[in-house]
Structure 1
Amino acid sequence: MLDIEGKFLIARPTMRDTRFREAVILVVEHSRSHSMGLLINKPVHAPTLKEIGKDFQIKTIKKQPNQYVFYGGPVGLNKVIVLHTPDWESGKTTFKFNSEVWASNSKEVLTACMEHGVTGPKNWAICIGQCQWSAGQLEAELLAQNGRLKTDAWLTCPLDANTVFGMKYQNRWKKTVNRVAQDQFTRIFNHATQTQ
C-alpha cells in the first residue's frame, strides 16, 4: 500500500478529468478499504463563512479578510472539515498529519475559528465536501501495471503548512508542481553524480 496519507496529491498538467484539473488535494485518509482527500485550491462562492456560521449557530462572526471556503470535493457536500495549525485541538475529532497541519470536524473548531471573542487556531481553512476513492482505486490511478508511478494523472509530495495557510490559493498548484519537478531533478542529479 502506498504511503500517501498526510501528503499532497497534485494533478499533473496532463490530467484529463476536468473536475481535478490543476487540483491540489490533501490526502486525509488512505487505507485498504478507501481513501479520502480535501481539495485546498478551489474556493466556492456559496456557502459563505457567514452562512456556515449561521448554520452552526455561531453568534458573532469575526471579520476574516482573505479567508475562503474551499470545495473539498464532490462527496458529502454537507460535511465541513477545518484544516488548522496545531495550536488548537478537539480531542477525537482532530486528525494530526504532521507538526504543522491538523484537521478537525466539529462545531467546536468552527466556533473557535469564527466566533468573535473565542480563541482558535492561528491559521485555518474550511473545506466543504471531500474527494473519495474506493478500495484500490487511488493506487490504480497512481501506479502502472509494473508498480511504477503513472505519468498521466497525479504527482505526490509532502504536506507543508505554507501551501495550506501561507500561499495564495491561486498559486498552490503551480508552486507544488514546480516543487515536485525540482525535487525530481535534484534526485536525478544526485544519483548521476554518485554513480560517476
Structure 2
Amino acid sequence: MRLTAKWRSVIVWTPLGGQWETDMKRKGDTFPQWMSSLALNMPRIWGVGLLSMLVGASPAGLAAQPYFSQDIPDITPGLLLIARPELRDPHFAKTVVLICRHDERGSIGLILNRPTTMPLSKALPRLKGLKGNRHYIYEGGPVQPRGIIMLFYTETQPAKTTQVLEHLYVGGDQESLEELLANPNETSQFRVYAGHASWFPGQLETEITRGVWWTVMGDPNTVFDPHPATLWDQLYLRLTAPRRMISFSSQ
C-alpha cells in the first residue's frame, strides 16, 4: 500500500491509546484508496460480518470441510486470527490479526502483516528521535484509519498501555514512544499502526465457528516477525502442514 500526498496535522483518539497529534490527514478532498474504500466496508464495520465474503460460505458448505472448522477458543488478548484462504474481503484477505481487547463490548485487533511505505518520521514529524530511523506505519485495519495505535515489546510496561502478552503492550502516547526512542536497547521494539479492526459482541465468535479464521495463541516473536509481509504465508504453511502431508501420503 502506498500513502503519498501532502498531510496536515490532526488530533485523533483511538480506543486503545491516548490523544495523538499526527500528520495522517490528507489535504484536499481525496483520501488514499484504502481509506476511501472504508465507506464500501461499512456493513462489515457495523456488524454484518465476513461470512458473506467467503466463497460458497453457506453454513452447509463450511460444515462439509471439518478440517478448517473449529470450536470457539478462549478469546483473550494475544490470540492471533489467521484468515482462511477463502476470505475475499480485501480488508482482511490473507491477514494475521492480533486480538488486543475482548470483553462485553466486543473485540479489537490489529492487522500485523500490512506494512506501508509511509515512513513514521513523515507521518509523525514532531516526534523526537525518529530522524534517521527506518520505521514505517502499518495498516492496522479499516476502522478509524487515521487513528494511531502502538505495540511495544519491552521489559518495563510503558505508561498508558495495556498488557497483551508477557512484555507485549498496546496503547501508549507520544511520551511513551519518545522515551523508548531516547533509550534504545536490543530487546525493546515497537510498531505503529494506523486504524484497527473491531467486532461487536458475539460477532467474532460467530466468524470463528463458521471457519472464517484459524486461531493460534500469539507470542512476541510472531507479532514482531522481521518479515511481516510474509507472515500469513508462514502461518498458513504451518497450520496446513499436517493436512498436506496426509494428502501426499494417500496418493
- Give the TM-score normalised by the residue count of structure 1: 0.76
The change in CA–CA distance for 1:123 and 1:60 in structure 2 (over 3 A counts) is closer
Measured against aligned partners, the alpha-carbon deviations of 1:167-189 in whole angstroms (never above 9, x if no partner) come to: 3012210112223335xx49xx9
The percent identity for this pair of structures is 28
Q: Which amino acid aligns with 1:174?
A: D
Distance (Å, rounded) in 2 between the aligned partners of 1:7 and 1:110? 24
Is contact 2:157-2:167 (8 Å) kept?
no
Q: Which amino acid aligns with 1:158?
A: M
Query: What's 1:174 paired with?
Result: 233
Aligned-partner SS, 2:141: coil
Is contact 1:41-1:169 (8 Å) kept?
yes
Is contact 1:30-1:36 (8 Å) kept?
yes
Is contact 1:4-1:156 (8 Å) kept?
no
Q: Is 1:139 matched up with 2:198?
A: no
Distance (Å, rounded) in 2 between the aligned partners of 1:50 and 1:88? 24
Q: Is 1:119 matched up with 2:183?
A: yes
Measured against aligned partners, the alpha-carbon deviations of 1:130-155 in whole angstroms (never above 9, x if no partner) come to: 00111111111111xxxxxx33x211
Distance (Å, rounded) in 2 between the aligned partners of 1:52 and 1:167? 21
The change in CA–CA distance for 1:168 and 1:19 in structure 2 (over 3 A counts) is same
Query: What's 2:74 paired with?
Result: 3
Residue 2 (structure 1) shift: 4.6
Of Structure 1 and Structure 2, the greater strand share is in 2
Q: Which amino acid aligns with 1:59?
A: K
Distance (Å, rounded) in 2 between the aligned partners of 1:108 and 1:179? 38
Query: What's 1:109 paired with?
Result: 176
Greater Rg by CA: 2
* Residue-pair matches, total: 170
Residue 107 (structure 1) shift: 1.2
Aligned-partner SS, 2:124: helix
Distance (Å, rounded) in 2 between the aligned partners of 1:53 and 1:31? 31
| CA RMSD, 1 decimal | 2.3
Is contact 2:83-2:92 (8 Å) kept?
yes
Distance (Å, rounded) in 2 between the aligned partners of 1:99 and 1:83? 12
Q: Is 1:64 matched up with 2:133?
A: yes
Aligned-partner SS, 2:74: coil
Distance (Å, rounded) in 2 between the aligned partners of 1:123 and 1:90? 12
Query: What's 2:85 paired with?
Result: 13
Measured against aligned partners, the alpha-carbon deviations of 1:91-132 in whole angstroms (never above 9, x if no partner) come to: 3x2121222422233112221344xxx115721111111001
The change in CA–CA distance for 1:167 and 1:61 in structure 2 (over 3 A counts) is closer
Aligned-partner SS, 1:44: strand
Query: What's 1:43 paired with?
Result: 115
The change in CA–CA distance for 1:100 and 1:171 in structure 2 (over 3 A counts) is farther
Distance (Å, rounded) in 1 between the aligned partners of 2:176 and 2:239? 32
Q: Which amino acid aligns with 2:140?
A: G
Distance (Å, rounded) in 2 between the aligned partners of 1:85 and 1:179? 24
Residue 88 (structure 1) shift: 3.8
1:27-106 equivalent positions in 2, closer than 5 A: 27-46=99-118, 48-54=119-125, 57-65=126-134, 67-91=135-159, 93-106=160-173
Is contact 1:90-1:108 (8 Å) kept?
no
Distance (Å, rounded) in 2 between the aligned partners of 1:104 and 1:120? 19
Distance (Å, rounded) in 2 between the aligned partners of 1:159 and 1:141? 19
Query: What's 1:192 paired with?
Result: none
Q: Which runs of 5+ in 2 are unaligned?
A: 1-71, 247-251
Query: What's 1:193 paired with?
Result: none
Distance (Å, rounded) in 2 between the aligned partners of 1:109 and 1:157? 29
